[in-house]
Structure 1
Amino acid sequence: MASITYLFHSPTLISSSSPSSSWPSSTKYILPTKTFSSQSSIGRASLLNDEQCRRGRSLVLRSAMDGVSVLDPPPPPPPSDEFEAKSELLASLKLKLLSAVSGLNRGLAANTDDLQKADAAAKELEAVGGPLDLSVEIDKLQGRWKLLYSSAFSSRTLGGSRPGPPTGRLLPITLGQVFQRIDVLSKDFDNIVELELGAPWPLPPVEVTATLAHKFELIGSSKIKITFEKTTVKTTGNLSQLPPLEIPRLPDALRSPSNPGSGEFEVTYLDSDTRITRGERGELRVFVIS
């Protein structure tokens, strides 16, 4: 069997008289030898490898104890089918809500049963949509929104839940389309109302657009406060050539308690084309982007 010779560091002194030696004549240093088999050498190499592994593990443990932080990998994203399922559910609930408020003339023709159905459909959509943080999603408010439904209009007054003139085809004022125009940069919040004013026969009715200008601010994660500034009335139709009439804001001392000039409401659902709000008097409003 092949052998490997290892030299030891401790020399042994022996006598020698060989004249051919280059060592001093009286003495000669001979290094003893020790023979190991190749099997023993492999075993020693294995022991060295084990020792290196233990030292490596010990070094990792000491690094962790010395305060070296190791970040956990980020959690994997949810499966795409979960997003698809939620999107399909939201689309279905939005269709259910739109079906519940359709044909109600923005709430003017709603009865008690209609109010309950619309409120129940809105709550389902709000629950699936989850809570909002408008400080992050403020850009979604931007644009011109068309009012589809207001529960307050069931009172059949222009003021909704607040006192206001009556509306209807047989009455002096007929309510047309209602919009909200929101600019998130300038903080402008305008309520735009199309009205038809009755006139004595044989004069035709007068069509006007009233713009109630406000400024808005966020006062919570999903709550908005609006402050009234002025009203501008512009004739349309046959009298569209007339200049607009601006009605300034009344001083607070002359303002009635029912019209404080400011209000608050909460946005309970919001996406790229649909918005639900609930007012301070429990008014439910449904808007779509226009």
Structure 2
Amino acid sequence: MAMHSVAVLPQSPISISHRLTSSSSSSSPVRNLIPCNAKGILQSSLWQHSQSRRKRSLVLNSAADQVSVADTPSPPSRSPGNGGPPADLIASLKLNLLSAISGLNRGLAANEDDLRKADAAAKDLESVGGLVDLTVDLDKLQGRWKLIYSSAFSSRTLGGSRPGPPTGRLLPITLGQVFQRIDILSKDFDNIVELQLGAPWPLPPVEVTATLAHKFELIGSSKIKINFEKTTVKATGNLSQLPPFEIPRIPDQFRPPSNTGSGEFEVTYLDSDTRVTRGDGGELRVFVIS
């Protein structure tokens, strides 16, 4: 049949077949009333219908005693790789995670309930996505990633300030966008942070971008270790003409034991546009490709 959805009149061969096969009586009085030429047409029509069943399915509307033809629903698409979870399920879980963290200003405005909801949504995605194997999928790390959520921001352990009243510091710092730039060939792992430094009135705030350069290495199938190298600050906005400068590194003997210049985290979910990580301190981070 050339059309995807048609209504067949009662006198058509397919409708006759339906009336015969759906009758409660299987005897032949009605069958014998069909002329020989109608039987031939009926057989031909049934053969054509059987050949098209691979692509179409019959949907019966018994009240109207009609048969309509509709496309057979496609099976759920699969994620790349053999035996992967359905792509539509992954997309739904990713949407749930994004919904849980939306409006939280990357976690700066999150309360305890927000943290629990974000963690639960991330665990759902991690569970369905399965274990990450960076020995196979290292190329998926390549690129510039934008941080859209960090559970640590709620406690202000990584800098920044919540929206609302000033913190009272002489030079308040407002956290802007945060990125990670990863190069799998050079093993560069740069944390790029946009900051706005408050200045005494009437001076405008100073906008800068700080790049914390690291080198990374795999220490497991899904675990990464980063080693700090240097911090470079570049003014932006009205002072963008100024050259970048490097902040001197604190000598090892004067550095607090908690600040070793290195860190570890596990990549718990990874695809072409979304990455979820768990830090060694339990920090949950969500990134999207930028």
Q: TM-score, normalised by structure 1?
A: 0.68
Structure 2 residues not aligned, in runs of 5+:
1-73, 80-84
Listed one character per residue, the Cα deviations across residues 135-154 of structure 1 (whole Å, up to 9, x for unaligned) are 11000000000000000000
| Other-structure match for 1:83 | 78
Cα deviation for residue 82 of structure 1 reads: 6.1
Q: List 4+ stretches of structure 1 deviating above 6 A.
A: none
Listed one character per residue, the Cα deviations across residues 89-139 of structure 1 (whole Å, up to 9, x for unaligned) are 000000000010011011000000000000000000000000011011000
| Other-structure match for 1:233 | 233
The answer to whether the 8 Å contact 1:168/1:175 transfers is: no
The answer to whether the 8 Å contact 2:109/2:162 transfers is: no
The answer to whether the 8 Å contact 1:145/1:288 transfers is: yes
Q: What is the distance in 2 between the residues matched to 1:185 and 1:249? A: 25
The answer to whether the 8 Å contact 2:160/2:175 transfers is: no
Q: Percent identity?
A: 79
Cα deviation for residue 259 of structure 1 reads: 1.4
Task: Name the count of aligned residue pairs.
Answer: 206
Q: What is the distance in 2 between the residues matched to 1:178 and 1:257? A: 26
Q: TM-score, normalised by structure 2?
A: 0.68
Going from structure 1 to structure 2, the CA distance change for 1:166 and 1:275 (only over 3 Å counts) comes to closer
Do residues 144 (structure 1) and 138 (structure 2) align? no
| Other-structure match for 1:167 | 161
AA matched with 2:110? A
AA matched with 1:238? N
Q: What is the distance in 2 between the residues matched to 1:275 and 1:173? A: 27
Q: What is the distance in 1 between the residues matched to 2:288 and 2:132? A: 17
AA matched with 1:209? T
Listed one character per residue, the Cα deviations across residues 169-223 of structure 1 (whole Å, up to 9, x for unaligned) are 5240000000000000000000000000000000000000000000000000000
Structure showing greater Rg: 1
| Other-structure match for 2:197 | 197
SS at match of 2:185: coil
> How is 1:169-188 mapped onto 2 (pairs within 5 angstroms)?
170-171=166-167, 172-188=172-188
Q: What is the distance in 1 between the residues matched to 2:75 and 2:193? A: 42
Q: What is the distance in 2 between the residues matched to 1:221 and 1:80? A: 32
> How is 1:1-290 mapped onto 2 (pairs within 5 angstroms)?
81=76, 83=78, 86-157=86-157, 159=158, 165=159, 167-168=161-162, 170-171=166-167, 172-290=172-290
